[in-house]
Amino acid sequence: MNGSHALHWLQHETGGLLVLSGVGIAALLLLIIRYKVEPFIALLIAGLLVALGAGLSVEQIVGSAQKTSGSLIESGFGGILGHVALIIGLGTLLGGILETSGGAEVLTQKLLRTFGPERAPIAMGLSGLIFGIPVFFDIGIFVLAPLVYVAARKGGRSIVLYAMPLLAGLSITHAFLPPHPGPVAVAGLLHVELGWLIVMGLACGLPAWAVAGIVYSSWIGKRIDLPVPEEMLANAKARAEEKNGTTLEPPSLALVALIIGIPLALILCGTFGSVLLAKGGTTYGVVTFLGTPAVALTVAVLTASWLLGFRRGMSHDDLSKLASTSLRPVGMLLLVVGGGGFFGAVLSATGVGKALASTLMSAGLPVIALVYVISCAMRIAQGSATVAIVTTGGIIAPLLPDLHYSQPRLALIAMSIASGSIIASHVNDGGFWIISRYFGIPVKETLATWTVVETILSVVGFLMAVLLSLFV
């Protein structure tokens, strides 16, 4: 095969497109794993390589000096960010207000009193599950870890018994529920309504949390006995004394629950109201407007700013500084999501995505299993759940329009991708090291606890998605 025939084969034949997709994904993983390139840059480079290899023109890829609109870079990045940037930003701000207000401590202490010392691990798990809805995974650890130290010391049992249920709750919400970046990104890539994503996220996530966070964590916590790190316990006491010295009164539990529940309730009402209500009526218009994710989160942020901020003595400057601090880590996440959108747009424009997905499906795997396998592979290879989600979503998105799936089924495919994205957290995952360090768990024991918890969450979440797909 001469050079021109080889180039034509790469650009037009299914086999060539598959080779091209393999090269693109290999380049992506090599850049992230071997050369430690930031994921969004790696996604951009891999997308450019695939686009050029597939024979797309420069104008198609980047536009021209006179006109960039319509280029893959602009439509890929802008298309997905137009959907997710506002939602992620508002969700992050809401989480920052709840974190600063002391809502996590109020929630956890109430749950600990309700469940009592013997069931304190369940209380910690519920704290992670509820408070994990509006806050990022690592922020949830930083805020709630001191409460784990105190509960474990009072209970006189292994810190594993208290930490793992909490971490399972934080992990499920991070991977399965908006406004976290991964679920919001995959909803944008697959064109899934967030209301259906919330419903299926809870349906798949809660059983997974129960099995991994309660059943397995209780079993392993009795077999790996680790004390609370003294240094961390001292820091927790110092932080508690510092908070006790502030003039702000802690919010009520009802108020914390209201703030967390507002966006979820509004989005769900919008999703199901659009189906159940007569179109064109006033009620339909109001429900649809308030149920739009950006509007629902704006209502929640304004409510939180007033009830948890101004009414409790915070000034405009305090809230401004809080917003600046909370939104600081969002920039890199949005770039990763945008990079995934560009990579997916390239795969769609070149036909690589359809060729890859069709070939894998011909092996007998249904789409819901196929995306799980791809997501698992991406997660295990490079460590980031968000990168695994956006990359898998980009690969599979070109195939879905031809299958004419309903919204519930698309949401379950999104849950399968999310399930794969959290499997087998190990040494290439930043969260692995945060957990090992913050809870004083040696690497070997972190593998036996956290890594297994993540794997159980992944497998049970996937099995629930498959089971539910039989009925929708």
Share of the chain above pLDDT 90, in %: 50
In 3D space, the residue among 428, 429, 396, 413 whose CA is nearest the CA of residue 25 turns out to be 396
CB 146 within 8 A of CB 154: no
The total of structural domains in the chain comes to: 1
Query: Does residue 214 lie in a domain region?
Result: yes
Residue with tokens 């979440």: 461
d(CA 27, CA 46): 6
Average pLDDT over residues 207-233: 91
d(CA 294, CA 137): 21
Residue with tokens 């009526």: 281
Contact residues for 180 (Cβ-Cβ < 8 A; gap 6+): 88, 91, 136, 137, 173, 174
Please tell me the predicted confidence (pLDDT) of residue 399.
81
Query: Does residue 467 lie in a domain region?
Result: no
Q: 390: phi > 0 → left, psi -120 to 50 → alpha, else beta; which?
A: alpha
Q: Which residue has the higher pLDDT, 232 or 205?
A: 205
Average pLDDT over residues 154-178: 95
d(CA 144, CA 168): 13
Highest mean pLDDT among 109-118, 217-226, 352-361, 428-437: 217-226
In 3D space, the residue among 287, 147, 128 whose CA is nearest the CA of residue 214 turns out to be 128
d(CA 256, CA 206): 21
Query: Does residue 277 lie in a domain region?
Result: yes
Query: Does residue 223 lie in a domain region?
Result: yes
pLDDT in tens, 23-35: 888 898 899 888 8
Range of the domain at 125: 82-327
d(CA 228, CA 159): 6
Torsion (CA) 452, 456, 458, 462 in degrees, nearest 10: 160
pLDDT in tens, 296-337: 999 999 999 999 998 888 888 989 998 888 888 788 888 999
pLDDT in tens, 240-288: 655 555 556 788 889 999 999 999 999 999 999 988 888 888 999 999 9
Query: Does residue 413 lie in a domain region?
Result: no
Average pLDDT, the chain: 88
pTM of the model: 0.89
d(CA 138, CA 141): 5
Query: Does residue 270 lie in a domain region?
Result: yes
Query: Does residue 163 lie in a domain region?
Result: yes
Average pLDDT over residues 349-354: 76
CB 32 within 8 A of CB 339: no
Is residue 9 scored above 50 in pLDDT? no
For residue 328, the SS3 value is: coil
**Token code pair at residue 289:** 């407007």
Query: Does residue 434 lie in a domain region?
Result: no
